[in-house]
Amino acid sequence: MLEIDGVDGMTRVKWETEISIQEGNDEPIPAFDADFDLDHFGEKNIPCFKVICTYVPIDDPSLTTPKFRIDLCLKQFESKQKFNQDESPSSKKIKMSSNNPCSVWVNFNGGERKLLKVDPHPEFEIYSEQMTVCTVQSWSEKFIVEFTVDDMEDLRVHYYYNNYSTVPLTGVIWMKFDNTNHNEMNLIKHLTNLFTHQSNCDVQFCFNGGRKIGGHTTILAARSTVFAAMFKHNMQESKTGEVVIQDINPEIFNDLLHYIYSGRTLIPLNENTVQPMFMAADKYNIEDLKEDCARFLLSQMRPTNTLDLMVWAHLHSFDKIKEGALKFVLTNRKIIFKSIEWEKFITAHPDLCLLITRCL
């Protein structure tokens, strides 16, 4: 049974199944296989998907609870063109759809979201009876899913699992679509090229070591009220054409500017870059980049890192992230309250500890 809805500007596809904990012969075992359509692109252009999920129980004598290797593949099928019986399908030009997800993530049993790897070479399939050519785009990744002692106890208490022949597996696919049309994409491409090729720049951002990154004051001012104020005629920066940057790493600042021109960072956000990128976006008031960073941070929360994230958000007054971390701690308190991180947290941040306990 699939549940499809929209959350935070993304399409979410959720399914539930059960997998056996019995040891096999290392051959992948089918866990889930289903087709689904997305109808939010209009009746004439409905992308069709197939999710294929297999698993292998991990045989390790040291394990006291079940652990699995999960392989997931998402395929997108879309009818591209129908032909008359006397026409050759191979003679027709086939174009990829603009309704492909630009990013796909998956998580299992509420764990960390993992970005799927896209196959860079889409396949084409021809159905001879209907003379229909379809494109097939694929995304895939491998996962490790491990059940804790608390997980197994919850199953016993709430679901009366005694023999543990099977355990529940909940998967969620998160798809982000780029809804820009062809003309808009061309415009973004040309604007981005101005920056990446450093063409006709009228301002230089200067860093320690002599590195400089060029930009265009009109474009930057249109996207940031901070830059707009900086480049007013009577400001020092507008007179010299140079801005000294001392508090932001050059790579982070370069990605910030790339986002201003293109709507996305040059390098995908990751756990090492997302916090400094959020702070840079906050400093220069790039709200959409802040939203992207906040969404990424909240999607990467785990029992081992959420307390640190909550402290960071509290120190910098990032209330949305702090509230999201607080909710995660409350939901996963059975695990977090037993951790070493929680013991250190109680001592170092009694004010936040009090906030958490008051919300119980």
pLDDT in tens, 328-345: 999 999 999 999 999 999
Residue 341: enclosing H or E segment and its boundaries? helix 340-348
d(CA 217, CA 280): 18
The average pLDDT across 73-85 equals 61
- Residue 353: per-residue pLDDT: 95
Banded model confidence at residue 240, pLDDT cuts 50, 70, 90: confident
Q: Which of 185, 184, 186, 219 is nearest to 200 (CA)?
A: 219
Banded model confidence at residue 78, pLDDT cuts 50, 70, 90: low
Banded model confidence at residue 178, pLDDT cuts 50, 70, 90: confident
Quick check: 106 and 73 in contact, CB under 8 A? Answer: no
Q: Helices 319-331 and 287-299, interaxial angle, to 10°? A: 10
| Average pLDDT of every residue of the chain | 83
Name the CATH superfamily for 182-295.
Potassium Channel Kv1.1; Chain A (3.30.710.10)
Q: Where in the chain are all domains bearing CATH 3.30.710.10?
A: 182-295
The topology (CATH level 3) of 301-358 is 1.25.40
- The predicted model scores a pTM of 0.61
Q: What is the DSSP string of 279-290?
A: HHHHHTT-HHHH
Q: Where in the chain are all domains bearing CATH 1.25.40.420?
A: 301-358
